[in-house]
Amino acid sequence: MDHIQDDIKLAYIIAIGIMMIFVVFIILIVLTYNKRQLLYLREKQLKESEYKNQLLQKELEKQKSIEAERKRISHDMHDDLGAGISALKLQAEFLKQRAENDDLISDINELLKTSEEMNISMREMLWSLNSGNDTIGSFVEYAKIYAENFLKKTNILLSTEKKDIILETVITTEQRRNLFLCLKEALNNAYKHSESNQLKLSFIQKDKEFMMKISDNGIGINHEKPEGNGLRNMKRRMQEQNGHCEVTTENGTHLFFRIDL
């Protein structure tokens, strides 16, 4: 009888030992699987990181290439086109001094006016091409100077204000260019159609949001008439930059432009 009990105990011990060995075996398999999975995930993440780095490197090289092309165009415009416009102005001035016919003098004055407009347009394009101007501070300063020069020969009194502007905040070349073109269109409309004598140009920054507001005290916009090309163009430009353009006409015309930086 004792011999049978000893055999049963031995069988239990052997069974428990086999179960423990099986459990240890299962644990080793799980640990090995998890280790392999971890190694696989790390290898996958490393490959993804290398791929992203390659894409980033290609994008940086593309941006460098674009920047180099911008600089080349900018230098060519400044050296060739700028010199040509200056020579044209000098020749026109020389002809004007020698001209005696009033009609000829009038034509030469128109030529001088056109050459000056070309010179201004060229400077605007050079400013747009220069990535060194891709900051809020640069845009605000240039916009103020342009508005002052545009309105100084008119009866419209200009005032400007800045709120919470962080000068070194980056703005893309496209955003800067489109905001400036909207400003030009708004000033031109105010001069031609508003019958105003005061215009306020405001620049406001809230974290990563930048706003430009142009307000005059003129007659406003007649909403019964179809929307003009100028207003449609301004709205389109803001939409292309994922921005917003809003127009109100209470006590004058108020144009509000907003972009995310």
The CA-based angle 77-83-84, given to 5 degrees, is: 90
Asked if 41 and 103 sit in the same domain, the reply is yes
Task: Tell me the DSSP string of 197-219.
Answer: SEEEEEEEEETTEEEEEEEE-S-
pLDDT of residue 187: 94
- pLDDT tens string for the chain (261 positions)? 556 666 677 777 777 878 888 778 888 888 888 888 888 888 888 888 888 888 888 887 877 777 777 777 766 666 667 777 778 788 888 888 888 888 888 888 888 888 888 888 888 888 887 888 899 999 999 999 999 999 998 999 999 999 999 999 999 988 999 999 999 999 999 998 889 999 999 999 998 899 999 999 999 876 666 667 788 899 999 999 999 999 988 889 999 999 998
Strands, E assignment, the chain:
157-163, 198-206, 209-216, 244-248, 254-260
Asked if 62 and 140 sit in the same domain, the reply is no
Owning domain of residue 23:
1-129
Q: Which of 98, 129, 160 marks a domain boundary?
A: 129
Tokens of 131: 């990535």
Q: CATH number, domain at 250? A: 3.30.565.10
pTM of the model: 0.66
Consecutive H or E run containing 45: helix 2-76
3-state secondary structure of 125: helix
Rounded distance, CA 175 to CA 188, Å?
Answer: 20
How many domains does the chain divide into?
Answer: 2
